[in-house]
């Protein structure tokens, strides 16, 4: 990972953690019948969210597996599941899969081939503060596409 990306992630981690309590764990659905991934209306339109209503993001630098580990995963926690993820209303169950997670028995939820993440920048359900960060992090539509476009000036916050 280029040094500037690492520095930006570290800076975001520090800024996002100042004055906030630790983020709620989204690592597993809270009950057997609770959908792992659902759809919610936000200021960006209808987007995918976790069982706790936290906005889900894709990382454009990922292929079919995650490339976000260590410091990156501290800011962008992967959506981890212990079994088969459950699709909520508006979520295409055929697009909801999992991918292996390095050094973990859990798997990372994926949608339309994109590994899914939350961000520590979102402190409440429905927030979309990570949208467009560094031109590589984007919320995910129910169709499985990134919402919005990357631009040369995309610096996130």
Question: Does residue 146 fall inside a structural domain?
Answer: no
Does a structural domain hold residue 152? no
pLDDT at 150: 77
Is 46 in a helix, a strand, or coil?
A: strand
Q: Is 153 inside a domain boundary?
A: no
Question: Which two structure tokens, joined as six digits, stand for 64?
Answer: 């079919």
First to last CA, the chain: 20
How far is Cα 26 from Cα 29, in angstroms, rounded to an integer? 7
How far CA 153 is from CA of 35, 57, 101, 150, in Å, comes to 36, 20, 32, 8
Residue 9 pLDDT: 54
Q: Is the pLDDT of residue 157 over 90?
A: no
Q: What is the pTM of this model?
A: 0.78
Kindly tell me if the per-residue pLDDT of 156 is higher than 90: no
**Is residue 58 in some structural domain?**
yes
Q: Is residue 154 part of a domain?
A: no
Tell whether 155 is covered by a domain.
no
What residue numbers bound the domain in which 8 lies? 3-139
């Amino acid at each position: 990972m280029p040094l500037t990306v690492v520095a930006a992630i570290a800076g975001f981690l520090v800024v996002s953690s100042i004055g906030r309590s630790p983020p709620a764990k989204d690592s597993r659905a809270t009950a057997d019948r609770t959908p792992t991934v659902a759809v919610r209306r936000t200021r960006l339109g209808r987007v995918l969210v976790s069982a706790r209503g936290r906005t889900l993001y894709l990382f454009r630098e990922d292929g079919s597996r995650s490339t976000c580990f260590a410091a990156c995963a501290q800011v962008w926690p992967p959506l981890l599941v212990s079994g088969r993820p459950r699709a909520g209303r508006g979520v295409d169950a055929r697009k909801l899969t999992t991918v292996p997670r390095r050094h973990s028995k859990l798997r990372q939820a994926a949608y339309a081939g994109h590994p899914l993440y939350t961000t520590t920048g979102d402190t409440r359900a429905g927030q979309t503060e990570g949208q467009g960060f560094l031109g590589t992090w984007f919320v995910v539509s129910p169709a499985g596409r990134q919402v919005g476009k990357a631009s040369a000036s995309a610096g996130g916050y």
